[in-house]
Amino acid sequence: MIEFLQQLINGLAQGGIYALIALGYTMVYGVLRFINFAHGDIFMLGAFAGFYVGPAVLRITGLSPSFAAVLLVLPIAMLACALAGMAIERLCYRPLRDRPRLTVLITAIGVSLLLENGGQFVFGASPRSFPELITDRALALPASLGSLATLTITLSQVLVLGVALLLLGGLRQIVGKTRTGLAMRALSLNPTAAQLMGVDLDRIIALTFGLGSALAGAAGILASIQQPSIDPLMGIAAGLKAFVAAVLGGIGSLTGAVVGGLLIGVLEALVVGYLSPTYRDPIVFGVLILILLFRPAGLLGRFQPEKV
């Protein structure tokens, strides 16, 4: 039983990472009806931003590895990724906006390959050791929990879930309560009508890419704190899993992306812990196929029949 609960905790922490990446997929899909396949590589850029900025921040501020260090590096990496995401949108996707959606999709695959191989060229192909921003340790649980006190919850796991939930809350505020958010929702509902009502299409789409990429950047930092070995190809697997999570939760739905991410994380931990890691990827991608066959709108998505 303890082992099972431990696997759940491990899965939720990994799922938090998937959830943050999945949010970006889902937001871009919401406004553009297009899957940004380069999104997983933004996650990788976030990790490398932390790799270069982290030691500099520690040196300049004289901080030892701590929460404060994470809180300083996190926004810098998020900003870097937001700029990268917006630049990619401006240079690669905007010129193609009136072309068939397939053209943009193929361009996204091209951008993804460019970032992966360009990353190997610029950062080097070997795995790098991520700087220690916070000393990870197991948290002492109160003995009053009885046998549950033998569970291990690490600082980084709490950090991942905490930051993921905070960012989700912030995102819901932006989308639900601000004028920009209103414009995003309007665009997602009916782009033509939204533009007629004075919504600045270019600006809103750029902001959507910026927000989504910032979340992927945060995920890059959080994942690297948990698993301090980073390389330019680390975004491929994480990006694909997060894509499955977004589809599972219902693409276009923010809460769905988070629920999907956590579910995929837990599913992976259980498969690896009780079956074998060789079944992990077949089962995760099997879920994608089943969802597409039987519930294409996902768990929390609205089914929108094509209007003829």
Partner 1 sequence: MNLRLLPALLGLALLAGSAAAQEVIKIGEFASLTGGNASFGQESHKGTQLAIDELNAAGGVLGRKLQLITEDDQSAAGQAATAVQKLIAQDKVVALLGEVASSKSLEGAPIAQRNKIPMISPASTNPKVTETGDYIFRVCFIDPFQGTVMAKFALSKGWKKIALLTDVKQDYSVGLAEFFVKYFTANGGTIVRDQKYSSGDKDFRAQLTSVKAASPDAVFLPGYYGEVALIGKQARLLGLTAPFLGGDGWVGESLLPVAAGSLDGSFFSAHFSPDDTRPAVQDFVRRFRAKYKSEPDDMAALGYDSAMILADAIKRAGGTDSAKLRDAIAATKNHPGLTGVITLDAQRNAAKSAVILTIRNGAYKFQESVAP
Nearer to partner 1, 120 or 255 (CB): 120
The answer to whether the CB of 284 falls within 8 A of the CB of 260 is no
The answer to whether the CB of 117 falls within 8 A of the CB of 44 is no
CA 297 – CA 50 distance, rounded (Å): 36
283 binds partner 1 (CB under 8 A): no
> Which of the ranges 21-29, 162-170, 242-250, 275-283 carries the binding residues for partner 1, by CB under 8 A?
275-283
Nearer to partner 1, 200 or 281 (CB): 281
64 binds partner 1 (CB under 8 A): no
Which three-class secondary structure state does DSSP give residue 200?
coil
Which three-class secondary structure state does DSSP give residue 127?
coil
Nearer to partner 1, 36 or 224 (CB): 224
Taking the complex as a whole, how short is the minimal distance between the CB of residue 233 and partner 1, in angstroms?
8
65 binds partner 1 (CB under 8 A): no
User: What does residue 230 show for φ and ψ, rounded to 5 degrees?
Assistant: -120, 150
Nearer to partner 1, 89 or 268 (CB): 268
Taking the complex as a whole, how short is the minimal distance between the CB of residue 128 and partner 1, in angstroms?
8
Q: What separation in angstroms does the CA of 201 have from each of 115, 137, 181, 188, 190?
A: 26, 46, 13, 11, 12
The answer to whether the CB of 44 falls within 8 A of the CB of 249 is no
Contacts of partner 1 in 169-228 (CB under 8 A): 223, 226-228
* Non-local CB neighbours of 205 within 8 Å, separated by 6+ positions: 31, 32, 89, 94, 187
154 binds partner 1 (CB under 8 A): yes
Nearer to partner 1, 67 or 274 (CB): 274
Contacts of partner 1 in 82-121 (CB under 8 A): 120
Q: What separation in angstroms does the CA of 210 have from each of 27, 193, 204, 293?
A: 10, 23, 10, 32
| Residue from 7, 26, 36, 253 binding partner 1 (CB under 8 A) | 7
CA 238 – CA 45 distance, rounded (Å): 13
How many residues of this chain interact with partner 1, rule: CB under 8 A?
A: 38
> Which of the ranges 191-199, 230-238, 247-255, 293-301 carries the binding residues for partner 1, by CB under 8 A?
230-238
The total number of residues shown for the chain amounts to 308
Taking the complex as a whole, how short is the minimal distance between the CB of residue 19 and partner 1, in angstroms?
15
The answer to whether the CB of 84 falls within 8 A of the CB of 9 is no
| Residue from 132, 172, 182, 299 binding partner 1 (CB under 8 A) | 132
Interface with partner 1 (CB under 8 A): 2-3, 6-7, 10-11, 13-14, 120, 124-129, 132, 136-138, 152, 154, 223, 226-229, 231, 234, 237, 268-270, 272-274, 276-278
